[in-house]
């Protein structure tokens, strides 16, 4: 007997205008209310870094052969979750009985070294490194500072 569709609560992600939320109050409120936030109005270089990484990622997936997928598969990397994952392998909501209709290539961020990263195209490694530097080196510290200041005002 087919399961009847369950009515699911839809949560609207709060939008935080990064350039205007200098106090961190909007971000703090969003994270307290929902646990997530949609950041908009970031500095242009963040958007450019993301666009470059997205383009390099598209090129990477279009060029992947079956052999590449095997060599770069999850389980071949030092980090447990790094590497290529095929369509239908993951199920982010296993209780639904459905598998995710996507393929993924999970990378390791920051200074952790992964020998298999040398097999990635230079364009993807360069874009990833730039994105890492901007996000981990600038955006995350900005978010932490703003949230820290907002939390101090509330304590």
pLDDT of 65:
92
pLDDT score recorded for residue 107: 82
3-state secondary structure string across 13-77: CCEEECCCCCCCHHHHHHHHHCCCCEEECCCHHHHHHHHHHHHHHHHHHHHCCHHHHHHCECCCC
Least Cα distance to 16 among 1, 2, 32, 3 occurs for 32
| Structural contact between residues 131 and 110, judged by C-beta atoms closer than 8 angstroms | no
Looking at the predicted structure, is the pLDDT value of residue 1 above 60? no
pLDDT at 21: 94
Question: What is the percentage of the chain residues whose pLDDT exceeds 90?
Answer: 38
Question: What is the per-residue pLDDT for 32?
Answer: 92
With 80 as the cut, is the pLDDT of residue 152 above it?
yes
Kindly state the DSSP code that residue 138 receives in the 8-state scheme.
Answer: I
Q: How confident is the model at residue 69 (pLDDT cuts 50, 70, 90)?
A: very high
Give me the percent of the chain exceeding a pLDDT of 70.
93
End-to-end CA distance of the chain: 53
Taking the CA atoms of residue 23, residue 130, residue 34 and residue 30 in that order, the dihedral angle to the nearest 10 degrees is 10
Confidence of residue 82 (pLDDT cuts 50, 70, 90): confident
Q: What is the pLDDT of residues 35-46, one digit of tens each?
A: 889 999 998 998
Q: Taking 90 as the threshold, does the pLDDT of residue 30 lie above it?
A: yes
| Beta carbons of 47 and 18 less than 8 angstroms apart | no
What is the three-class DSSP state of 108?
Answer: coil
Indicate the Cα dihedral angle 17, 146, 25, 28, nearest 10°.
90
Could you tell me if 152 and 29 are in contact, meaning their C-beta atoms sit under 8 angstroms apart? no
Asked whether the predicted pLDDT for residue 140 surpasses 60, the reply is yes
Q: What is the mean pLDDT of residues 105-112?
A: 75
96-108: average pLDDT: 87
């Amino acid at each position: 007997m087919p399961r009847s569709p369950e009515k699911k609560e839809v949560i609207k992600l709060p939008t935080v205008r990064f350039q205007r939320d200098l106090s961190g109050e909007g971000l703090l409120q969003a994270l307290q209310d929902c646990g997530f936030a949609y950041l908009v109005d970031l500095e242009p270089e963040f958007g450019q870094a993301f666009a470059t990484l997205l383009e390099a990622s598209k090129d990477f997936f279009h060029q992947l052969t079956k052999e590449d997928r095997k060599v770069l598969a999850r389980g071949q990397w030092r980090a447990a979750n790094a590497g290529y994952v095929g369509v239908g392998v993951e199920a982010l909501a296993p209780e639904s009985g459905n598998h995710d209709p996507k393929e993924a290539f999970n990378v390791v961020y920051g200074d952790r070294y992964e020998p298999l990263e040398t097999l990635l195209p230079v364009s993807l490694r360069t874009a990833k490194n730039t994105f890492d530097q901007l996000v981990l080196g600038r955006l995350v510290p900005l978010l932490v500072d703003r949230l820290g200041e907002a939390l101090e005002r509330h304590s």
